[in-house]
Structure 1
Amino acid sequence: MRSWLLLSILPLTQAIRIIQSNDDGWAEINIRTFFDALTNAGHDVVLSGPAENQSGTSSSDAPPKTVDADGCIFNSCPGGSPPTGSNATNPRLNYVNSFPVTSIMNGIDVTAPKFFGGAKPELALTGPNVGSNIGIQVPFSGTVGAAVAAVMEAGIPAIAFSGRSGDPTAWNQPTPLYSKIYAELALKITSQIVASGTPYLPQGVFLNVNFPEVTSSECNDIDDFRFIFTRVNPGIFSEKDTEWCGTNRLPTEYDIFFRDGCFVSISAGDASDKTTVDAARQKPVADKLKSILSCL
């Protein structure tokens, strides 16, 4: 994959401090592949994810506990391990034995400053989640919950990434094609937001991004994809969206999910309630992304 190699070896023009998390577990291959892509691009990255699969835990939060006898997900830490810990060979890879929200906040407040000279992260990235998070799924997603926590509790702009393909897979297995593609796409969106300058997102806003299915015959190269600006929830009775692609009503994430083709939905979500933000805050997001966005 020429595009994958290119993104892996060429540093970004601007490297920033990034905190990563997810709800599938710190040792799941999607987040590890994305960690490598971000690091290879020159970013200063710390991963702080749950010790176990915590999918569907929304915004739950609880103090981390000692790891039970079964150990961390995919045997990535032994039973009886401390409530928090790190990879033996790379201390930037960290687990927190609790929910995604707890994991990312521990990373923001405790772990990341050790690597960032006392500073906090500048951007929070969660996922790519194993499975889509669209529409009515969004409030229940731990991947979204972690992103929203970064925005609401720490004031850090955040992007939640989810991908339709795959099953939970250990970090030490051969990297599936979809993991590579999702890491490339997530890096492209991240690069666009970073290049747009600060503030990376309007106050109280997170991005909810969903990638389509990747197969050996379709949607298997980053150049196949088109990025569509969407809304999280249907807006029949809501206020008008920002003017975009000749209309003031954006397509929903469901519209993109059920459409044939290699379409990526990007929604500007309100971190206070995980729904679509108002038009006034959609517009600066669209302006930041406009050079990569397409119209249907």
Structure 2
Amino acid sequence: MLIIIAAFYLLTSTTAYAESGPTKKTCNKQSLSILLTNDDGYDKPGIRALHRVFKGAGHRVVLAAPAGNASGSSTSVTFAPIKVSEAEPNIYAIEASPASTVLLGVGNYFPDGPPDLVISGINKGANLGPATPVSGTVGATIAALLLSEPAIPAIAISTDSFQPTSGTDVDEQQANLEHLDRIAHFVLTMVTRLQGRSCNGGALLPPRLALNVNYPPIPDRDIKGVKLTQQSRTPTFRLSYAPSENNPRLYAPRFEKQLPALTGDEGDTSAFHQGYITIVPIDGNYTADAKSRASIARWLEGLEHTNR
């Protein structure tokens, strides 16, 4: 299963590359240097699936990820001294935010220069719509774009827990591991395709651009395709804080998943729930669009600073 829409191909290349031929074939065999990170923890099955698949494909991989769960970290950075443990050769458990693991990893574990690519994930939990800027998985890619010099191409990849078809005698844990393996191979296929651009000396992605990818938790036969889309405004969860029964000064978080109302939604949330693998190009720039800026300019027309 792989249906890459034309817009995605145009995003990754301004030149049409042949699907075969010696140049494409040679480039596809190039070994990339890759930093893997996530926000779930260095030992979680999602990142280990990526590590296994990309190393198996011959790429040079360093895994530098948080020592524990750092979900919801966005692009926060750790200013305190950071403790690092090398759990295995080129696998580092770092007591820091996902963004800081990228900065630490890039600056210390690639002696020959910055990696060709940062991949963050596979996250347990989709990062769609309003969840995108909150996500530590996505935040790590923004660190690669905006806090690294030079900027490093990056991909964030997330999914929800795979639920086997009811009534089937399938082990849920094993089904999820197989689901993660399929996702890792999809990411490898996508990166291999992006390498076609580098055949003519280009980068894997346009400058200061990352991809936020979300893979539905459904069997491959039910995947409708791959859709290049935009970040939705439709939330998939509600987060609130309520006082504890035993201590009214202590407020506990309440996280509630909610089925989004998809009517009128043309972004990643709707496409994901329709069965598409979604790809949203992101750049970490929070500036509103030109129409919104023009509106604010009219509202603030004549505003001046007055000396006091």
Q: TM-score range by the shorter chain?
A: 0.5 to 0.7
Per the TM alignment, residue 60 of structure 1 is displaced from its structure 2 partner at its CA by 1.0
Question: CA deviation digits over 1:15-43, x for unaligned, max 9?
Answer: 21111110000110110111110011111
Within the candidate set 129, 138, 145, 2:123 is matched to 129
For 1:162-201, list aligned pairs within 5 A: 162-165=158-161, 176-197=177-198, 198-201=202-205
Question: CA deviation digits over 1:210-237, x for unaligned, max 9?
Answer: 00013xxx3269xx561111111359xx
What secondary structure does 1:143 align onto?
helix
Question: CA deviation digits over 1:170-214, x for unaligned, max 9?
Answer: xxx967111111111111111111222222212221101000013
What secondary structure does 1:47 align onto?
strand
What secondary structure does 1:176 align onto?
helix
- Aligned match of 1:170: none
Equivalents in 2 of 1:49, 1:132: separation in Å? 19
Distance 1:178 1:199, change over 3 A: same
Preserved CA contact (<8 Å) 1:211 1:264: yes
Per the TM alignment, residue 272 of structure 1 is displaced from its structure 2 partner at its CA by 2.5
- Aligned match of 1:256: 271
- Aligned match of 1:229: 228
Preserved CA contact (<8 Å) 2:130 2:233: no
- Aligned match of 1:271: 284
* Number of residue pairs matched by the alignment: 218
Equivalents in 1 of 2:287, 2:63: separation in Å? 23
Q: Which has the larger radius of gyration?
A: 2
Within the candidate set 79, 92, 95, 1:94 is matched to 92
Preserved CA contact (<8 Å) 1:232 1:253: yes
For 1:14-163, list aligned pairs within 5 A: 14-63=30-79, 83-87=83-87, 90-113=88-111, 118-154=112-148, 155-163=151-159
When the two chains are superposed, the root-mean-square deviation of aligned CA atoms in Å is: 2.7
What is the TM-score with the length of structure 2 in the denominator? 0.65
AA matched with 1:271: G
AA matched with 2:143: A
More displaced stretch, 146-155 vs 265-274: 265-274
- Aligned match of 2:17: none
Question: CA deviation digits over 1:121-178, x for unaligned, max 9?
Answer: 01111101111001100000000000010011220011111112259xxxxx967111
Distance 1:225 1:44, change over 3 A: farther
The yes-or-no answer on 1:208 pairing with 2:208 is no
What secondary structure does 1:101 align onto?
helix
Is there any run of 5+ residues in structure 1 with no aligned partner, and where? 1-10, 67-82, 168-172, 236-249, 277-296
Equivalents in 2 of 1:183, 1:112: separation in Å? 23
AA matched with 1:257: F
Per the TM alignment, residue 257 of structure 1 is displaced from its structure 2 partner at its CA by 2.0
AA matched with 1:147: T
Equivalents in 2 of 1:18, 1:95: separation in Å? 16
AA matched with 2:37: S
Preserved CA contact (<8 Å) 1:65 1:97: no
